[in-house]
Structure 1
Amino acid sequence: MAQLYFYYSAMNAGKSTSLLQSSYNYRERGMNTFVLTAAIDDRAGVGKVASRIGIETDAYAFDSNDNLSEIINKRHSREHQHCILIDEAQFLSKQQVKQLTYVVDCLDIPVLCYGIKTDFQGELFPGSHYLLAWSDKLIELKTICHCGRKANMILRLDSEGKPVREGEQVEIGGNDTYESVCRKHFRPYFWD
């Protein structure tokens, strides 16, 4: 029976690497995978999922208006899909997460979502909120803070490398813009 999985973490925990490895494992067995990623994150190029370790694949770039169950169903009717993999899942809408539950429950295709749990202010992203609520399996991928503890929070940095407290929830960036930290090192900026 298919299930909806949510692999979540702070930044730099290897989410994209894990997604690419999962897709490779299916394809190595002669199975079809359909990889999707949020169009808003074009750091590797539109329609690309890339890992910091240098591997990448083409992907369908979705935006918040796309009906994912329709897109997946059309592809599935042309070529049987054995697994759906979604990178940057924090950018899914509530409706899109519902659509993914349809893919799992009605099309019987496993869906593996990979994303960040919280933003730079410690608030859940909409996609993460509903994936945490509705997924069959939750898997935390771990990364570490500069102190060696598990990093479960994210700081957004200004151009001088100092943490910022305010701003839009979404600002696309990498290591020059964000730092994964433990709660102890997040606390002084938002909770003390």
Structure 2
Amino acid sequence: MAKLYFRYGTMNSGKSIEVLRTAHNYEEQGKKILLFTPSIDNRHGVGTVASRIGMEKKAFIVDDQLDMIKLAATEKPNCILLDEAQFLTKNQVQQLADIVDTLDIPVIAYGLRADFMGVLFEGSYHLLAIADKIEEIKTVCWYCDKKAIMNMRCKDGRPVFEGEQIQIGGNESYLPVCRKCYASKRKEAHTL
């Protein structure tokens, strides 16, 4: 029986490399996957899933026009993988659930849980609400040895705590941090 999985972690926790590793494992066994990424993620070119260690793979672009259910029904993959799932809409998350429930195809969605202010993204909110299985991909705080659970946005090397929810970026823009270090850096920023 297929399931909808949501695997979340902070920036730099290895989500994209996990997507690519899982895709490789299926394909090495001669199995078919469909790989998706939202159109908003353009760090490595629209329609590309890329990891910081240099691996990348082309993917179907998820936008308002893509009918993932129809594509899955036509292609009949063994598994569907999705990177940057936090950027999905409620409707797109429901499409993933419908693929699992009506086509019996497992779907594994990877993404951030919350933004740099600690607010859930729309896609993450709905995946947390309806996923069959929720798994955390862990990494260590940039400043200490605790588990990172927050994404801290930086501009010119300094933490920022206000702004638009979505700003596409990597290590130059975000650091994985624990809640304690996040609070400490926020306090520092407000006393400057």
TM (norm. structure 2) is: 0.93
1:158 aligns with 2:155: yes
Residue number in structure 1 paired with 2:32: 32
Q: Is the 8 A contact 1:64 1:92 kept in 2?
A: no
Deviations 1:116-163 (A, max 9, x none): 00000000000000111100111100011120110000111112x111
- Please report how far the alpha carbon of residue 64 of structure 1 lies from its aligned counterpart in structure 2 after TM superposition: 4.2
Deviations 1:13-53 (A, max 9, x none): 11011111111111111110000001111111111111111
Distance 1:115 1:92 in 2: 10
Residue number in structure 2 paired with 1:183: 179
Residue number in structure 2 paired with 1:169: 165
Residue number in structure 2 paired with 1:21: 21
Structure 1 residues without counterparts, runs of 5 or longer = none
Distance 2:70 2:153 in 1: 35
Distance 2:69 2:137 in 1: 26
1:84 aligns with 2:80: yes
103, 106, 123: which one pairs with 2:102? 106
Amino acid at match of 1:131: L
Give the ranges of 4+ consecutive aligned residues of structure 1 lying more than 6 Å apart after TM superposition: none
Aligned residue pair count: 186
Identity %: 49
Residue number in structure 2 paired with 1:5: 5
Distance 2:65 2:115 in 1: 22
Question: Aligned to 1:151, what secondary structure does the other structure show?
Answer: coil
- Please report how far the alpha carbon of residue 54 of structure 1 lies from its aligned counterpart in structure 2 after TM superposition: 1.4
1:118 aligns with 2:117: no
**Cα RMSD for the two superposed structures:** 1.4
Question: Aligned to 2:158, what secondary structure does the other structure show?
Answer: coil
- Please report how far the alpha carbon of residue 85 of structure 1 lies from its aligned counterpart in structure 2 after TM superposition: 0.2
Distance 1:129 1:158 in 2: 26
Distance 1:81 1:68 in 2: 12
Structure 2 residues without counterparts, runs of 5 or longer = none
Distance 1:12 1:64 in 2: 28
Distance 2:169 2:115 in 1: 12
